[in-house]
Structure 1
Amino acid sequence: MATRSVQSTDDAAVYSDISAVSARVSGTVETISVEDYARVKAGDPIFTIDRKPYEVALRGAKARLAAVNAQLGDNDTQHTFQLTQIDVAVAQQQAAAAEEVEAEKELQRQTRLGIDGRVSTVQSFEKATAAHERALANLDVARANVAAQRVKLDVLARQRDILKANLDTAASDLAARELELGYTNVRAPVDGIVARRNAQVGNYVAAGTPLISIVPLPKIYILANYKENQLSMVHEGQSVDISIDLLPGTAFHGTVSKISPATGSTFALLPADNATGNFTKVAQRLTVRIELDSDQPNFDRLRPGMSVTTRIATKGEDHV
Structure 2
Amino acid sequence: MTPDQKFARYVKVSLVGFIVVFFYYIVADVWLPVTPQARVYHPVVQISPQINGRVTDVLVSNNQTVKAGDVLFEIDKNTYQLALEQAQLALDDAKLQNKRLDTNVKALEAQISAANAKLHEQQLLKKRGETLYKQNSISEQELESIRANFAASQSNLAAFEAQLAEAVLARGDSGQDNLALRHAANQLAQAELNLSYTQVRALSDGVVANLQLLEGSYAVAGKPLLAVVAKKADLVADFREKSLLNMQPGSLAKVVFDSRPGEVFDAKIEIFEAGVSDGQLSANGLLSTTETSNRWVRDAQRQRIHLVLPNNNQLINNMPSGARATVQLLPQSAIGQWLGTVQIRFISWLHYIY
TM-score (norm 2): 0.77
Matched, 1:265 2:278: yes
**SS of the residue aligned with 1:131?**
helix
Asked if structure 1 preserves the Cα contact closer than 8 Å seen for 2:74 and 2:199, the reply is yes
Structure 2 distance, partners of 1:241, 1:152, is 85
Q: Which runs of 5+ in 1 are unaligned?
A: 111-124
Deviation at 1:73, TM superposition (A): 1.4
Deviation at 1:297, TM superposition (A): 8.7
Asked if structure 2 preserves the Cα contact closer than 8 Å seen for 1:33 and 1:45, the reply is yes
Structure 2 distance, partners of 1:81, 1:239, is 85
Distance 1:129 1:268, change over 3 A: closer
Larger RCO, structure (CA 8 Å, separation 6 or more): 1
CA deviation map 1:248-304 (0-9, x unaligned): 112233321111112342148899623899985432111111123464796565211
Matched, 1:145 2:156: yes
Q: Is 88-97 or 158-167 further displaced after alignment?
A: 158-167
Structure 2 distance, partners of 1:276, 1:296, is 42
Matches within 5 A, 1:1-320: 5-110=31-136, 125=137, 127-161=138-172, 164-217=178-231, 219-267=232-280, 273-274=290-291, 281-293=298-310, 295=312, 301-315=318-332
**SS of the residue aligned with 2:261?**
strand
Structure 2 distance, partners of 1:137, 1:150, is 20
Structure 2 distance, partners of 1:272, 1:245, is 39
Structure 1 distance, partners of 2:85, 2:123, is 56
Structure 2 distance, partners of 1:194, 1:107, is 100
Q: Which runs of 5+ in 2 are unaligned?
A: 1-27, 334-354
TM-score (norm 1): 0.85
Structure 2 distance, partners of 1:143, 1:83, is 16
CA deviation map 1:130-151 (0-9, x unaligned): 3322210110110000110011
Q: Is 71-80 or 293-302 further displaced after alignment?
A: 293-302
**SS of the residue aligned with 1:78?**
helix
CA deviation map 1:231-253 (0-9, x unaligned): 11111122221111122112233
Distance 1:109 1:20, change over 3 A: same
Q: Is 296-305 or 245-254 further displaced after alignment?
A: 296-305
Q: Residue type of the partner of 2:274?
A: P
Q: Residue type of the partner of 1:241?
A: K
CA deviation map 1:36-87 (0-9, x unaligned): 1111111122111111111111111111122122111111111111111111
Counterpart residue number, 1:116 = none
**SS of the residue aligned with 2:135?**
helix
Q: Is 279-288 or 303-312 further displaced after alignment?
A: 279-288
Asked if structure 2 preserves the Cα contact closer than 8 Å seen for 1:85 and 1:149, the reply is yes
Asked if structure 2 preserves the Cα contact closer than 8 Å seen for 1:233 and 1:315, the reply is no
Structure 1 distance, partners of 2:135, 2:281, is 107
Asked if structure 1 preserves the Cα contact closer than 8 Å seen for 2:233 and 2:316, the reply is no
Distance 1:108 1:52, change over 3 A: same
Larger helix percent: 2
Q: Residue type of the partner of 1:258?
A: I
Q: Residue type of the partner of 1:182?
A: S
Number of residue-to-residue matches in the alignment: 301
Q: Residue type of the partner of 1:145?
A: N
Deviation at 1:89, TM superposition (A): 0.5
CA deviation map 1:5-24 (0-9, x unaligned): 43211111110111111211
Larger strand percent: 1
Q: Residue type of the partner of 2:75?
A: I
Counterpart residue number, 2:344 = none
CA deviation map 1:117-175 (0-9, x unaligned): xxxxxxxx5x4433322210110110000110011012212322499433322221111
Distance 1:103 1:278, change over 3 A: farther
